[in-house]
Structure 1
Amino acid sequence: MVKIEKLGVFLSSIEAFFRQIDDTLVEVDTPYLNNNKSAVGYDYSGIINISGPLEGCVYVSAPSTMLREIIKIMQEPDSSLAMMKDLLGEMANTISGNARTEFGSEFIISPPKIVEGVPSVSYLAKDRNTYVTPFSWRGYTAVIGICIA
């Protein structure tokens, strides 16, 4: 399991993503461990598989209301399902891409897989836990799940 201090890179990445959108601060809640018997999440999830010295996945899961609000603030006229999924993929890529700087070039990330609802447990390692970190932006709550070792 990755040391909890190392999780900060994922959380600062989500803060950086939202700073690009507007001045509203992201409030990061306390991370907690989930046993992977069921995933924690919202309407849509962007999952990135990780390989190399670290194995597992990172996901970001958000409600559609939050994704539509981000699209509106970005002044994007298209708020279709495809656009919401693209946005979530961009969030997931930002989070994992920034983590590469912390963990090194051997940190290999897959393109994001966007799923409806919470990630199925098939994405999560059965033999370890996931650090789930809720975060809020403009009153909307989403989560980052980190399951790597």
Structure 2
Amino acid sequence: MVKAEKLSVFVNSVVAFFAQLGESLTDIDTPYLHDNATPIGYDYSGVIRITGPLQGSVYVSAPSAMLRALLTVMGESDSSLEIMKDLLGEIANTISGNARTEFGSDFIISPPQVMDGAPSQAYLPKERRSYIIPLHWRGYHAVIGICVA
């Protein structure tokens, strides 16, 4: 499992993403360990698989209302499901790409896959646990999940 002190790279990545938009997260709660028997997630999740010396996945999950609000802040008038999912994939890609900078070139990331709800057991094996980092922006709640060993 990734050491707790390394979680800051994921937090810093999402803070930087919001800063690019001229926004800031209202709050980032304390990360906690969660079993994967009941994955934490919202309407949609953008998942990146990790391979190399570290194996697992990183995901970001958010409600559709938050994604629509982000698109509005970005000046995007189209808030169709396809555009919302593209945005979520971009956020996930940004987070894992920045993590690759921290963990090195052996940290191999896949293109993001966006799915309805929380990631499945294929991404979050029940025998492992995930770090969950709760995020808050303008009254919306989202999470980053990290299940890497």
TM-score (norm 1): 0.97
Give, in whole Å, the separation in 1 of the partners of 2:53 and 2:25.
33
Q: Which position in structure 1 is the counterpart of 2:139?
A: 139
CA offsets 1:70-129 (integer angstroms, 9 cap, x no match)? 000111111100000000000000000000111000100000010011111221133320
Q: Which position in structure 2 is the counterpart of 1:58?
A: 58
Q: Which position in structure 2 is the counterpart of 1:129?
A: 129
Q: Which position in structure 1 is the counterpart of 2:45?
A: 45
TM-score (norm 2): 0.97
Offset of 1:38 from its aligned partner? Answer: 1.4
Q: Is the 8 A contact 1:33 1:129 kept in 2?
A: yes
Offset of 1:26 from its aligned partner? Answer: 4.2
Give, in whole Å, the separation in 2 of the partners of 1:144 and 1:2.
14
Give, in whole Å, the separation in 1 of the partners of 2:60 and 2:133.
10
Give, in whole Å, the separation in 2 of the partners of 1:22 and 1:137.
12
Alignment of 1:10 onto 2:18: no
Name the % identity: 64
Q: Is the 8 A contact 2:15 2:24 kept in 1?
A: no
Kindly provide the amino acid, as one letter, of the partner of residue 50 in structure 2. Answer: I
Count of matched residue pairs: 149
Alignment of 1:83 onto 2:83: yes
CA offsets 1:22-57 (integer angstroms, 9 cap, x no match)? 233341101111111011010000000000010000
Q: Is the 8 A contact 1:15 1:26 kept in 2?
A: no
SS of equivalent to 2:96: helix
Superposition RMSD on alpha carbons, in Å?
0.9
Q: Is the 8 A contact 2:25 2:135 kept in 1?
A: no
Q: Is the 8 A contact 1:18 1:26 kept in 2?
A: no
Offset of 1:8 from its aligned partner? Answer: 0.6
Give, in whole Å, the separation in 2 of the partners of 1:21 and 1:27.
16
Give, in whole Å, the separation in 2 of the partners of 1:98 and 1:23.
19
